[in-house]
Every structure is written in C-alpha cells, then in structure tokens.
C-alpha cells in the first residue's frame, strides 16, 4: 500500500489542531473555575465529605457573593429540605419562583422543588396547588406522582383514582394493586355508612382491576353478611384461600360468626381446622384455639396446640399450650406453670408483631398500607416469629 504524499503534510496539521483545541478547553475550564466563588468550591468539598452543616454555610456565602448562581440556589434549597429545614427551603425556592430573570424551564423546576418543600412540611393544600399548576407541563409525570401521594395522605380516594388513571404506568401490577385498594377504601367507608349498593359497586371495581384482591373479597363478604346473605358471604370469604391463603386468618372470626348464625358451628370449626392443617398460621391457630377452649374445654384445646407445635414449633404456640395447661392443671402445679408462662409471654411480645416486606417496619396491628413506607399489601398477616423462628 502506497502512502500519498499529502497525508504526510496533513498529519502535522491534525496534531496542531488537536493541541489548539485542548488549550482552548483548558483555558475555558480555568477561566470558569476562577470565576466561581472560593466558598462554592469549599461547599462542594464539604458536601463530598458528608459535612452538610459546613457545606450549607459555604453555599450561603457563595450566594451572597454571586446572587445570580441559579443552580446553587437549587442545590442549597434541596439541602435545606433534606435536613428538615423546610422553612428555609421554601423561602429559597419561593424567591426563585418570583425572580423575573428565570427561563421557563428553571421556573418549572423551582415550582417542582417548592411543591416538594410544602409536602415535606405537611402543607398538603399548598403542595397540591403547586403540583396542579405543573400538570400539562414537562413535569407532568412528577406532578401526578406527588398528587397521588397527597391524595392518599388526605384519604381522598376518588381523586387518587383519577390521578392514578393518568399515570404513564397505569397498567402495571403495582398500579392495579394500589388502585384496587383505593376502591376498597371507598367500599369500607360506604359499608360503615350502610350504603351497601355503593360498597358492592366499589368492590366490583376493585375485582375488575385485580381479580386476586383479597381485601375486595373480604369486604364483599362483609357486605353480603350485612344484607343477611350468610351463605353467599361464606363463599366470598372462602375464595381467599385460592387468592392468597396467608390472609385466611383475617376472616376466621367472620367465618365462625356466619356459621353460628346459620346454626352450623361444628362445620365452621372443621373448615378452620382444615385451613390450619394446610396453611400454618399463628393468628389462625389463635382463633381455632380460642374456639376449642370456649366450646370444648381446656383438654381439647391443649391437644390441638400440642399437635400444632409438633408441626410448627413457635414461642407463640408454646404460650397457648401453657395457657391451656394452666386451666386444667392441679392447683399445686399452677404456680410453676404460670411462672413459665409469664417468662414465655415476655418473649412472645417481641415477636408477636407484623412486619412490612418493603421497609421492615413492625407493628402490633395489621395494616393494609404500611404506616412507614406507604406500600399497599406489604404487610402479610403473619407474625414476625413465623419468619424468624419457625423452621
């Protein structure tokens, strides 16, 4: 392959152009770095070292030196909000919104930050007003997600449903789970006010979105029971076994009450015993144990728990066993049994809690929505011991 003569002339030229471009870039960087206030660079250094207090002081000083640093105002406002100083964050972002020299994109960004400040401060009405203004802009999706969070905090489920339908991922599994629970919240409120037709309509809407919605089946059974249709209510509750058997403990008491009204208590007990054998659950064991204790006495209740302990050894089960043993034990043995039971009971208080699968938050009461992270159906109705101690 022969080398053209003009290539030899072009190579030095290319090197010269590259060297010149690099020099220009370096000069530009040096010029910009010198133009920045020294306190700005100090603030960045403190921020990288996770010294937020010193970083904020440095950034405030930089803003005083050069009030036109828009991005620095945004950074400083975000730092205030993360530290919980929402008043200062609000003032910082409100000043940006009121400035006349901002571009449209910067003004929208400032509004978005201001809305988040209001939300962090608990000023839901003002946050809602800001995010409503952002609908239809380039921050529309951000506004929708924060509006959804606001309406959930306000328990305005009708508005939450409307906003959820406008979200871009409104066909996802998570979306269906959330919106089905919004309908269930409306159904629960309607049922509490004896608006049974409205409650049933909301349950139907929840099932249409999520056919495996356990909560909708539970509420449907409640509605049917309120209408005096116990047989139909039982069918609705039994459906939960196929949807998610973990939730059967939530309907155990309802099942027994319905069978009691129908005069078929023994049939209900047999059903719960069969559920317990197929789907081990401490809460279900508690319900069956209590019924056995009240209707048949301490000895059958003791035998029930002993058999369950052999299959699934837990401290909570042992606590129930000692409770039954205490009732039927001779008087001279009750003191020792009570002492052991008190020791066991002290430990069971620590493990007799529900735990959120999403964030790990623990609570003594079951929640459909986690009080900590706001996740829906992240609390399986199983005690922490069933996760931590059971084999």
- The answer to whether 359 is annotated as binding is yes
Does the CA dihedral 82-84-85-87 come out positive or negative? positive
CA distance 237 to 256: 11
CA distance 157 to 180: 11
pLDDT digits (tens, 9 = 90+) for 125-174: 999 999 999 998 999 999 999 999 999 999 999 999 999 988 877 667 67
Spell out the long-range contacts of 244-247 with Cβ–Cβ below 8 A and sequence spacing 24 or more: 244/212, 244/214, 245/275, 245/278, 245/279, 246/279, 246/281, 246/380, 246/381, 246/382, 247/214, 247/218, 247/381
**Given this model, what pLDDT does residue 236 score?**
96
- The answer to whether 213 is annotated as binding is no
DSSP category for residue 46 = H
pLDDT digits (tens, 9 = 90+) for 298-356: 788 777 778 877 777 776 777 777 777 777 777 777 777 777 777 766 666 665 677 88
* pTM exceeds 0.85, yes or no: no
Asked whether residue 249 carries a pLDDT value surpassing 60, the answer given is: yes
CA distance 51 to 21: 38
Asked whether residue 68 carries a pLDDT value surpassing 80, the answer given is: no
Nearest to 382 by CA among 316, 331, 299, 322: 316
DSSP bridge pairs for 376 = 369
Helix, strand, or coil (residue 314) = coil
- The answer to whether 184 is annotated as binding is no
Asked whether residue 181 carries a pLDDT value surpassing 80, the answer given is: yes
The pLDDT of 91-118, averaged and rounded, is 85
CB 276 within 8 Å of CB 308 = yes
Domains located in the chain, CATH noted: 68-167 (1.25.40.10), 171-243 (1.25.40.10), 248-391 (no CATH)
CA distance 179 to 29: 51
Measured from the Cβ of residue 106, the count of other Cβ atoms closer than 10 Å reads 17
């Amino acid at each position: 392959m022969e080398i053209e003569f003009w290539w030899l002339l072009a190579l030095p030229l290319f090197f010269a152009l590259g060297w010149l471009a690099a020099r220009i870039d370096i000069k530009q960087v040096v010029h910009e770095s010198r133009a920045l206030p020294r306190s700005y660079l100090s603030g960045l250094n403190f921020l990288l070292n996770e010294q937020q207090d010193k970083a904020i002081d440095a950034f405030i000083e930089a803003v005083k030196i050069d009030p036109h640093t828009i991005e620095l105002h945004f950074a400083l406002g975000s730092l205030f909000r993360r530290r919980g100083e929402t008043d200062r964050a609000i003032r910082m972002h409100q000043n940006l919104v009121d400035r006349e020299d901002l571009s449209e994109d910067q003004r929208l960004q400032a509004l978005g930050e201001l809305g988040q400040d209001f939300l962090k401060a608990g000023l839901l009405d003002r946050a809602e007003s800001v995010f409503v203004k952002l609908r239809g802009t380039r921050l529309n999706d951000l506004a929708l997600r924060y509006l959804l969070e606001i309406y959930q905090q306000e328990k305005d489920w009708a508005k939450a449903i409307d906003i959820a339908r406008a979200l871009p991922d409104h066909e996802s599994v998570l979306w269906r789970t959330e919106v089905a629970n919004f309908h269930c919240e409306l159904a629960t409120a309607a049922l509490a006010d004896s608006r049974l037709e409205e409650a049933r309509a909301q349950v139907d809407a929840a099932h249409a979105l999520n056919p495996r919605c356990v909560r909708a089946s539970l509420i449907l059974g409640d509605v049917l029971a309120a209408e005096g249709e116990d047989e139909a209510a039982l069918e609705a509750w039994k459906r939960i076994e196929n949807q998610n058997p973990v939730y059967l403990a939530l309907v155990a008491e309802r099942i027994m009450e319905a069978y009691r009204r129908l005069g078929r208590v023994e049939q209900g007990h047999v059903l719960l015993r069969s559920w317990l054998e197929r789907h081990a659950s401490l809460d279900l064991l508690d319900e069956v144990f209590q019924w056995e204790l009240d209707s048949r006495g301490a000895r059958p209740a003791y035998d029930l728990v002993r058999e369950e302990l052999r299959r699934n050894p837990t401290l909570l089960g042992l606590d129930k066993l000692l409770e039954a043993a205490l009732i039927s034990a001779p008087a001279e043995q009750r003191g020792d049994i009570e002492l052991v039971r008190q020791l066991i009971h002290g430990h069971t208080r620590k493990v007799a809690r529900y735990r959120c699968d999403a964030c790990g938050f623990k609570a003594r009461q079951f929640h459909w929505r986690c009080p900590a992270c706001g996740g829906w159906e992240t609390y399986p109705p199983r005690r922490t011991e069933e996760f931590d101690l059971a084999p």
